[in-house]
A and B are shown apart, each in its own frame.
Chain A
Amino acid sequence: MSEPEVATPLRERTGHALRDPFLQQALTIATTRFIDLRREAFGDFPDGESLRDRARAIKEATLQRLDHHVERLVASVESRGGHVHYAVTAEEARAIVLDIARRSGARLAVKSKSMATEEIHLNEALATAGVTPVETDLGEYIIQLAHERPSHIIAPAIHKTRGQVAELFERELKRPAAPDPEALTAIAREELRRRFLDADLGITGANFAVAETGTVVLVTNEGNGRMVTSLPRVHVALMGVEKVIPSMSDLMVFLAVLARSATGQKLSVYTSLVSGPRRGGELEGPEEFHLVLLDNGRIAQIAGSLREALACLRCGACLNVCPVYRQIGGHAYGYTYPGPIGILLTAMLNGPRSVKDLAHASSLCGACADACPVRIDIPRMLIELRREVDERRIAPRGERAAFRALARLLVRPAWYRLTARVARVLQAPFVRGRTIRRVPFDLGEWTRTRDLPAVAPRTFQERWAALEREGR
């Protein structure tokens, strides 16, 4: 288990989010914008659909021979003078990075946005070991200053207003800051520029790693990925082992769908391809390059029920279209990865017990699967997770008993008809016209905000005999 269990119940977390008017507004604006941008981007891209199929096919083909591609990647990285490390757990991954930091005498680490380092909670570990980690993606920088966690995979600080950011900068950076995105960005540029030049250690994730060439690929819009991989003495890239792809041609297929899905751009501003440490004749570039391959529950899914989720590109498209995410935002999910794909990744990392409630935080509307650039069937896997939660007896005993009783009822039509009649009697005190405005027990959850239809005075089955005669 790599992440601590969340103490507050899900219902409370979602309630909190729903009652935050600013968060509600920010979520609506951000997700709507991302949805529109994505739609436009694929709208005038006739190859889009076939490239999505190809991207998925490459992922599946690669996973089928993952050992081969990982070996190839390792050989290529090592032939370029890089070092490869292997971490089965989050704890091992942290230990590896800390060891590299210690041996290189690093005091200051600059980081380019990486969900993998969030996943292993690296920053806390670095700080404890005396290395100051500085997030350099503007959104990540803001939430690091605020001591928060990202709320969206690609827009980590969408829950903050310009005013809040200005106040934060004034408080934490001790300098005047006007509540204007342009001015705030300029402040961040200045503050972080010095950090880039002073840092000993650069830490990144990887969007992809090309096995053939030993290349780690980083996609950013700001250019911080380039800084982090070019200026410090040591570069450590931490990546989930499923990020390996075979060739540069494969990479182009992914690049063509990634930014369009994430931000509606044809390409993000910077795609950096890094192959090992600084070469002879180069002025910049790290003296040491380390690649940390992370398992943390991924390998067990190669043949597991969540294997499709290994194709995820972390683009965030499924978050933006998810009606649940759009209401509750990222924090309410409680773990590193939010949104519908996040539920699957949380289960992958922390086991099905961690998502016993989250697995139900979806109306199964399927918008996520539609938006996913690699067509991951998220709803199907959520259902699968619910099944596991039942099978492993993680679901509450009462719930399991209720569903089993329902199943018995549904294969006994006489009982079913009897239940309808009994319900009609029981509902009588609550019915007004044909609806019920308030009922006790569990169904009260429905009627707090919605009317409930009453069981009809005569069901269709009870009307059928007459209807049949009418047809003769």
Chain B
Amino acid sequence: MVTCLGDLFYPEVGERIVRLLRRLGVAVEFPAGQTCCGLPLFNSGYHEEAATVARRTVRLFDGDTPVVVPSGSCAWMVKHEYPGLMKDAADRAAATRLAARTWELSQFLVRGLGRSRFVAAVRGRLTYHDSCHLLRGLHEAESPRVLLRALAGAELVELPNADECCGFGGSFAVRLPDVSSAILDRKLAAVEASGADCVVACDAGCLMQMRGGLGRRGSRVRALHLAEVLDVEGEPS
């Protein structure tokens, strides 16, 4: 599942993931006709509409192949909210099955495939920002860090208050832009204080927010998706 932000804004991330998985021996399929998981609708309270979108996605991903999602929030939506949104029992059963075989990327690599040793696609010091849905929704703080710590050619430094929100929050970022930006300032100040050359996240929403803020500041620090810093040994992509 590529997710809307991944599809429209960060297609390179999707490409890297496909190549990475293939090099790990995983065959990758991409069901056509994907749009968005419906999280923006759900979070803003438009639940019937979100359910319609979700039902379509459940059908699109019918089968028994694991589904890998490059964004913690979208993975959380599928895993935690899809089943409850379905009114019809058959739909709910299908959503529950989908939820069970849906993985956020870092979790899939570490917990699904048991792979944690990669080489760095970027040089220097990395720091990691916990995205809220991955951390508190999927209770995952370890997998991304396992990957980054084991990364040959780069050094992981802990981000002070890594578990604090970046201020994105979907429509929140435009409904209360000043508050959202103030939260982002705090996050970016921590990123810059960490001395890292790049901040890694596992959520397209956080990346959009942090990249947007860093770009505007003219910062030398880059905000990258996890997939953008992982390479398989010997075969740089």
Partners in one complex: yes
B142 in the interface (beta carbon within 8 A): no
Residues of A within 8 A of B137 (CB): 366
Residues of A within 8 A of B184 (CB): 449-450
Contact present for B211 and A451 (CB under 8 Å): yes
In which size bucket is the chain A interface? 35 or more
Alpha-carbon gap, A410 to B51, bound state (A):
11
Residues of B within 8 A of A324 (CB): 176, 179, 183
Residues of B within 8 A of A464 (CB): 30, 32
Q: A387-B45, A449-B213 given as contacts; is B172 within 8 A of A364 (CB)?
A: yes
Which residues of B from 155 to 191 have beta carbons under 8 Å from A? 163-165, 167-184, 186
Q: A404-B46, A471-B22 given as contacts; is B174 within 8 A of A446 (CB)?
A: yes
Contact present for A323 and B165 (CB under 8 Å): yes
Contact present for A360 and B172 (CB under 8 Å): yes
Alpha-carbon gap, A470 to B30, bound state (A):
14
How many CB-defined contacts (below 8 Å) exist between A and B? 196
Which residues of B from 12 to 46 have beta carbons under 8 Å from A? 12, 14-15, 18-19, 22, 27-28, 30, 32-36, 38, 40-46
Residues of B within 8 A of A11 (CB): 176, 178
B49 in the interface (beta carbon within 8 A): yes
B112 in the interface (beta carbon within 8 A): no
Alpha-carbon gap, A200 to B157, bound state (A):
61
Contact present for B181 and A449 (CB under 8 Å): yes
A385 in the interface (beta carbon within 8 A): yes
Contact present for B216 and A450 (CB under 8 Å): yes
Q: How far is the CB of B168 from chain A (nearest CB, A)?
A: 7
Chain B count of residues within 8 A CB distance of the other chain: 69
Chain A window 298-337, contacts with chain B (Cβ cutoff 8 Å), 1 for yes, 0 for no: 0000000000000000000000000110111000000000
Residues of A within 8 A of B36 (CB): 410, 416
Chain A window 107-143, contacts with chain B (Cβ cutoff 8 Å), 1 for yes, 0 for no: 0000000000000000000000000000000000000
Residues of B within 8 A of A361 (CB): 172, 176, 179
Which residues of B from 184 to 232 have beta carbons under 8 Å from A? 184, 186, 208-209, 211-213, 215-216
Contact present for A445 and B174 (CB under 8 Å): yes
Contact present for A327 and B28 (CB under 8 Å): no
Contact present for A451 and B44 (CB under 8 Å): no
Name the residue on A nearest B45 (C-beta): A386
Alpha-carbon gap, A423 to B7, bound state (A):
14
Q: A387-B45, A435-B215 given as contacts; is B9 within 8 A of A461 (CB)?
A: no
Alpha-carbon gap, A395 to B46, bound state (A):
11
B111 in the interface (beta carbon within 8 A): no
Contact present for B174 and A449 (CB under 8 Å): no
Name the residue on A nearest B169 (C-beta): A363
The interface of chain A, by Cβ under 8 A from chain B, is 10-11, 14-15, 18, 323-324, 326-328, 359-367, 369-370, 383-391, 395, 403-404, 406-407, 409-411, 413, 416, 420, 423, 435, 437, 442-443, 445-446, 448-456, 458-464, 467-468, 470-471
